[in-house]
Chains A and B, each alone.
Chain A
Amino acid sequence: MFFAEPTQSGFFFLAPWLEFAPVIGLLINLIFGRRFNEITVGTVASLASGAAFIVAVLLAWSVAANHGEVVRWYLAEWIHIGDLQLDWTFRVDSLSTTMMLVVSGVGTLIHIYAIGYMHEDVRFKGDTGRYPRFFVFLNLFIAAMMILVSGDSYMMLFVGWEGVGLCSFLLIGFWYELDTLGQSSWANSNAAKKAFIVNRIGDFGFLIAAFIMFWNFRSFQFDQVFAAAETVAPGVILAITLFMLVGVAGKSAQIPLYVWLPDAMAGPTPVSALIHAATMVTAGVYLIARSAPLYILVPQAQYIVAMTGAVTALFAATIAVGQYDIKKVLAYSTISQLGFMVAAVGMGAFVAGMFHLVTHAFFKALLFLSAGSVILGLERGHHHAEHSHHTEKPNRGRKAKREEHHGEARTEHVEAFDPNDMRNMGGLRRTMPTTFWLYMIGTLALAGLPPFAGFWSKDEILADAFTEGFTAVYWLLTIAAFFTAFYMGRQIWLVFFGEPRHEAAAHAEESPKVITVPLIVLAVLSVIGGALNLPGVHTFAEWLEHTIEVHAGEFVWSVAIISTILALLGIWISWLIYGRNPLKVGQPDPLKERLRPAFTGMENKWYVDELYQAIIVTPFVKLSQFLADVIDWKFWHDWFHETVIVGTYNWVSNIALNRYADQRGIDAFANGLAGVTQWLSATMRKIQNGFVRSYALSVLLGVVLIVGYLILK
């Protein structure tokens, strides 16, 4: 599988630097990070990510200059065993460069944001030494994500797939010894483990799909698989695509494997924005778009994928309505929006799905980072309020803070204040005006109001569902869009309007420029991002056309008007409930009184975690305990090992070997020999009477005997 491509004009030779640049960045921070100050660490990491972005831009330009021709850049041999021919080859085409641009572009902005965010986060958590580690992980993530999007085979993609899963695990558990309130707990590390384990289930599906693929096609390379796919039975393709859907459900947080993503909010906010909203979770969407030639062959699989996405979109949107944690709302919103994307690529609307992926990356990163800014603002306000109360408090150094971190003193310091809880917020538009406006832009983009980016991409999905005859999907997504507008409106009213419901909110402070400037860039992208693929122009569709088979979506006025009206309706209802009469301190959610059982369900995430706990985790733990206690310990150890093996051994050694073979056989022989020798010597000693003359007589007798024998013979 060597690609002796003719020398391409362009910058394709830079492709490996997509991965090398972040790896160099992370190595520098890994080795020297402890000695650098925070600005240097952040700058190195941001430059590394920025370099990857520049490479991505040059690659995209080169693809455009080559009229979208697919270029494979062979870097090194990886695995060559029999039929298995895997190389480290970069695939540069319009689809992969789109992902590269999103990953490195949004990634770089989030790196810059993280310089400011982590500066404060490590101080609130009391461990400044952990600052460089964050950027090492972040760069590692960029490198892994680049492997994922630039790989030329399913196995190369899988390497990145696992790599980003690892980074997700590491970053969710970044404060592994704390919980989200900053108290000593294993909550964060449990969230990290949950994300990793649930993703393993998805990875299992991906691997099965890959194995079936290799078994039938003898290749993992995209083009060879796609070329061979048309020659095999549809059942094989159906199996591949459905197992692949399991992988997608794991990585892109779809039903039934979405449960890890809300818990993943335990990670620092830049992580939530980068990995759990903008890039990693869209890997599943990318995988389906990449495998478009396979999915097109099996309409049943397409239908299942689309329904999975649509149901997830609505289901997660309803849960988002009942959440109080500002990041949890966004997490369920992300699941919901991923449902939109998966539904789109499932329907074969690959352009719409990828388009929504891009715009979602902009506005959801914007929302998460703004939420991070809100959280930091509250933390600042909280500390401010704390310090005005405790002015006599001695000015302790960082070391002392670090030590109280695990001790009792810390609880007195924080008093379990939850800066993520929207019930603690309110009125922040006055104290954090910049963040407020940025959040508004993100909200309007997510709610899907024209002319923001989210409107165009979401509307294209809806229009495709409408025109392609996926009626059920269309209605599910439309209702989900209504809920999206509602929960975002609720969030805006709860967070930014009304009166502060906690003194931390009253004392909240605006974030510094290092945090707001990347947000402004993302806000601009969230506003104008829709221009990528305006109806009738279809820039993005033409761009992707070079890689995957696309059909330009039409603009359906009725769909656009219905979704816009529903979005406005959602925001209006949220105003009626939350905006007109702002929430008071200690007041329960007004929606709770109106639709009591339904809201309790939403609030408790429809008890899915409890359900999984009951039907999977608990039986699994019970089974493990049974296996450990009964099968392993009682059966294997106590009975089989102790009784059967040791007993048999003891019996064999005691009875057979000891009593019979040893005592009666070997010992008897040895004792018999000794007895014979004793008896013989006791007999013979009588001859040894010491009289020389009797010896002489015996000599004589001997001589006589011998001579007599010689004579007489």
Chain B
Amino acid sequence: MVPISYYIILSAILFTIGVVGVLIRRNALIIFMSIELMLNAANLAFVAFGSVLKSFSGQIFVFFVIAVAAAEVAVGLALIVEIFKSKRSIDVDQMSSLKG
């Protein structure tokens, strides 16, 4: 039986990679993938805790998260396509029209 701490550490590593990815990468697709990475890190923690605590709640939560992530990707990719159409680029640093 793998101890729970391993799962948590893995989840934290994955989440950190996601965060770093969002912060340092400028390609919108990569940022998306990093967000997916963070979501899945959270999913992993949910499932791990679910199994330890013998509860289905964690797994049910994960299903919701996956569904919402799918919806989010759909909307996000649509936005990226539209941005690309107008800017010919998906570099997020170019999208600074709302600069104060």
Q: Report which A residues bind B (CB closer than 8 A).
A: 684-693, 696-697, 700
Contacts and interface: CB of A to CB of B under 8 A. Distances in A.
Interface in B8-45: 19, 22-24, 26, 31
Interface residues of B, number: 14
B96 interface: yes
A700 B98 CA distance: 20
Contacts of B22: 693, 696
B96 A690 contact: yes
Contact of A700 (B23, B92, B100): B23
A699 to B, nearest CB: 9
Contacts of A684: 100
B94 to A, nearest CB: 10
A5 B19 CA distance: 118
B98 A693 contact: no
Contacts of B77: none
A692 B95 contact: yes
Contacts of B92: 691-693
Interface of B: 19, 22-24, 26, 31, 92-93, 95-100
23 contacts: A684-B100, A685-B100, A687-B100, A688-B98, A689-B96, A689-B99, A689-B100, A690-B95, A690-B96, A690-B97, A690-B98, A690-B99, A690-B100, A691-B92, A691-B93, A691-B96, A692-B92, A692-B95, A693-B26, A693-B92, A696-B22, A697-B23, A700-B23
B96 A696 contact: no
Which of A687, A690, A700 has the most chain B CB atoms closer than 10 A to its own CB? A690
Contacts of B95: 690, 692
A368 B88 CA distance: 123
Nearest to A682: B100
A4 to B, nearest CB: 102
Given A685-B100, A688-B100, A693-B23, 7 more contacts: A689-B99, A690-B98, A691-B92, A691-B93, A693-B31, A693-B93, A697-B23
Contacts of B26: 693
A710 B84 CA distance: 41
A688 B97 CA distance: 10
A615 B18 CA distance: 115
B74 to A, nearest CB: 19
Contact of A696 (B23, B97, B100): B23
Contacts of A696: 22-23
B80 to A, nearest CB: 12
Contacts of A687: 100
A691 B97 CA distance: 9
A480 B86 CA distance: 128
Nearest to A692: B92
Contacts of B23: 693, 696-697, 700
A690 B98 CA distance: 5
Identify the 3 closest CB pairs spanning chains A and B, nearest first. A688-B100, A690-B96, A690-B99
A45 B79 CA distance: 107
Contacts of B24: 693
A291 B67 CA distance: 116
B100 A686 contact: yes
Contacts of A697: 23
